[in-house]
Structure 1
Amino acid sequence: MSENSVKKDDINGSVDPESIKDSRFTDNTGKSESKKCEDNSNKILVALDGSEKSLKTIQYLCDFKPFMGKDILLFNVLSPMPDAYWDMNIDFLNDEPALPDTAQWETEQRHYITDFMEEAKVQLISGGYTKDRVSFRIQERIRGVARDIIDEASKGYFALLSRRRGAGAMLNMVMGSTTTKIVEKLSSVPILLAGVQRANNSIFLALDGSPGSKKAVDFTIRAVAGSDCRIVLCSVLRDLGLRQGKNENMGDGPGWINKVFDKVTLAIDDAAQRFQAAGIPVDRIKKKIITGASTRSDVISATAEEEKCDTIVLGRRGQSNVTDFNIGRVPWKVIYVARKMTVWIVS
């Protein structure tokens, strides 16, 4: 065993069912609240469902070195019965007679997910995290898996980390139903969707000069400050029917086009200066402006791949900022197009 390896017995990661019940309560409106107000601003909430896919999320945390300065809470919502039972619209928890195997199923699931969480914690500590920074919680389902995760994530966490698909997702689907609900509804905290591509600490930050992209810059700086991450700052402008190509000098084009170009140039230059001030070496920062794009999401994904980046960062909403929609179309498309990469959606 290497000197960095850790035994499960060395970690106090056991979960007492009574402590789980005591940590949260449900009032008669069905809302779940925490009894203690904690400062979660430096803590990443990691949603795990016990699947092999979710275990790869732990690998992402081990690979992405800047997060080792964050506290990590591994979080699971445990259902008291199989998902199929909920579809029957019968109160098996209170109606008699209850199905005979429900209690046994829940006990087995609790044992399984507890072992899973303990193993995940072992891997994080072996990967470089300190014991005091990693904890886990198994919470009984209250309002539904997605809603319970959203409720917890809304308590001021630095970010929510999840995967696109969990245990029940169909093979040909990019995102499972739980993750889709979370991305659509949770706008109070950045959402990090870990991909299957191994993290190499190279980040592609898509900028358009909007308030949303400025928030993406702010969050990324807080995440990587003082690290040796490589940062690619890129703005992709659509084909306006006037100019084509990449990194093209806008020259003597119409005044309003030059204003757009100047705006994104200023946004990129400002972001570069801020990353330098946060400790990122100038030779680890690259600036790009791409014009003539027919589909921004495709160009963002392709360019991030060309730059050998593992993570794409976008603001939740861009220049259009349509209030009827909780997330812009470009972030949505990038999640699907860059399906192997990690995508950060910043609110």
Structure 2
Amino acid sequence: MATLPVILVAVDGSNQCMDTITYISRILSPNQINIELFHVKTEAPEAVFDLGGAEGFSTYEAEISNWNSLYGTQIQDFMDKARKVLTDAGFPPDAVNATIRSKKIGIARDIIDESELGCSAVVIGPKGFDTLPDFMMGSIAAKLAESITHVPLVIVGSQPEPHKVLVAFDRSRRIRKGFDKVSRLFSKSLEEILLCHIIRPLSVPHPVTCTYFTTRTEAHWLDEHSRRITSRAGAIARDADTRGFGTIVVGRRGTTAVEGFTMGRVTRKILSLAFNKAIWIV
């Protein structure tokens, strides 16, 4: 019997993370996937490390102990709720595993190391508990976006619509192979998959250089040309918004990949423009 693919879901206990759990429960195929809920536990709040090593720990030893007890309970409660969301969506109980592990090196590094043990994709929310503007990724998500290149990475925004998938299709072999892999993970209940290919023209004449241009035709010209002069990333994000696609699948690097860079500029822009979507980087 073939081994089922494992989806590694990095969890932190935040409300945004529960949105991520809800999303994967709806877009993934329940009977063909195993889910690994993975949490890296820190030994103390981040603020304690700003106090200066062992001295800070000894000063607040009682507070840290209480925090650890409460933190452990909250994470376990979160795991139980996440498991219930997934099993209620049709995932068999034995297909959902929860792991809470003490930090070894760093949260991002530990997630990367775990992903190298044989998972088929890594899923994470964009911010966790970070109080950042909606269009900004948190530090953990940003590190994973740059570092996880061996398997698809899914960055799930705020409550994306799970039933419609837009594929940013180019001529690269990577997007074709990547989409072939991730499409096998998707639920059969998907309503629509759109292959979207943006062609950037070599040039677009400026209105003032057109002999036919007059004030009367200004609105018409802008309407006809606005779609041609937008950026590729902007066009993809706009189409996803206007047509109700909550998931965007994009290649990590396009046809003009530059050695030394792990992510192409179009993919990087999509991450910032489509912050309320689920972005599958393949």
One fold, TM greater than 0.5?
yes
* In structure 2, C-alpha distance between the alignment counterparts of 1:225 and 1:63, rounded to whole Å: 7
* In structure 1, C-alpha distance between the alignment counterparts of 2:59 and 2:238, rounded to whole Å: 57
Which secondary structure does the structure 1 equivalent of 2:258 belong to? coil
2:37 to 60, 74, 77: 74
Structure 1 letter corresponding to 2:104: I
C-alpha contact (below 8 Å) 2:29/2:185 kept by paired residues? yes
Question: Is 1:140 the equivalent of 2:102?
Answer: yes
Match of 1:312 in 2: 248
* In structure 2, C-alpha distance between the alignment counterparts of 1:206 and 1:84, rounded to whole Å: 41
* In structure 2, C-alpha distance between the alignment counterparts of 1:196 and 1:173, rounded to whole Å: 11
After superposition, what is the alpha-carbon deviation per residue over 1:70-93, rounded to whole angstroms, capped at 9, x for unaligned?
A: 111111111010111223441469
Structure 2 letter corresponding to 1:138: I
* In structure 2, C-alpha distance between the alignment counterparts of 1:90 and 1:304, rounded to whole Å: 47
Which secondary structure does the structure 2 equivalent of 1:76 belong to? strand
Q: Over aligned residue pairs, what C-alpha RMSD do you find? A: 2.6
Q: 1:41 to 1:188 in 2, by over 3 A?
A: farther
Match of 1:19 in 2: none
Q: 1:184 to 1:294 in 2, by over 3 A?
A: same
Question: Is 1:124 the equivalent of 2:86?
Answer: yes
1:185 to 134, 138, 147: 147
User: Which 10-residue stretch deviates more, 209-218 or 181-190?
Assistant: 209-218
TM-score (normalised: structure 2): 0.84
Match of 1:57 in 2: 20
Q: Of Structure 1 and Structure 2, which has the larger fraction of its residues in helix?
A: 2
After superposition, what is the alpha-carbon deviation per residue over 1:44-83, rounded to whole angstroms, capped at 9, x for unaligned?
A: 1111101111111111122215355211111111101011
TM-score (normalised: structure 1): 0.69
After superposition, what is the alpha-carbon deviation per residue over 1:213-233, rounded to whole angstroms, capped at 9, x for unaligned?
A: 223322233223855442111
Alignment of 1:16-35 (within 5 A): none
Which secondary structure does the structure 1 equivalent of 2:239 belong to? helix
Give the percent of matched residue pairs that are identical in Structure 1 and Structure 2: 31
Which secondary structure does the structure 2 equivalent of 1:237 belong to? coil
Match of 1:84 in 2: 47
Structure 2 letter corresponding to 1:345: I
Query: How many correspondences in the alignment?
Result: 262
Structure 2 letter corresponding to 1:316: R
Match of 1:4 in 2: none
Runs of 5+ unmatched residues, structure 2: 207-226
Deviation at residue 169 of structure 1 after TM alignment: 3.4
Match of 1:235 in 2: 197
Match of 1:163 in 2: 125
* In structure 2, C-alpha distance between the alignment counterparts of 1:92 and 1:112, rounded to whole Å: 27
Deviation at residue 323 of structure 1 after TM alignment: 1.6
Give the number of the structure with larger relative contact order, counting CA–CA contacts within 8 Å between residues 6 or more apart.
Answer: 2
C-alpha contact (below 8 Å) 1:169/1:177 kept by paired residues? no
Q: 1:41 to 1:86 in 2, by over 3 A?
A: farther
Question: Is 1:112 the equivalent of 2:48?
Answer: no
* In structure 2, C-alpha distance between the alignment counterparts of 1:130 and 1:186, rounded to whole Å: 28
* In structure 1, C-alpha distance between the alignment counterparts of 2:170 and 2:79, rounded to whole Å: 40
User: Which 10-residue stretch deviates more, 53-62 or 84-93?
Assistant: 84-93
Match of 2:274 in 1: 338
Q: 1:213 to 1:92 in 2, by over 3 A?
A: farther
Q: 1:169 to 1:176 in 2, by over 3 A?
A: farther
* In structure 1, C-alpha distance between the alignment counterparts of 2:187 and 2:83, rounded to whole Å: 25
Runs of 5+ unmatched residues, structure 1: 1-38, 245-290
Match of 1:214 in 2: 176
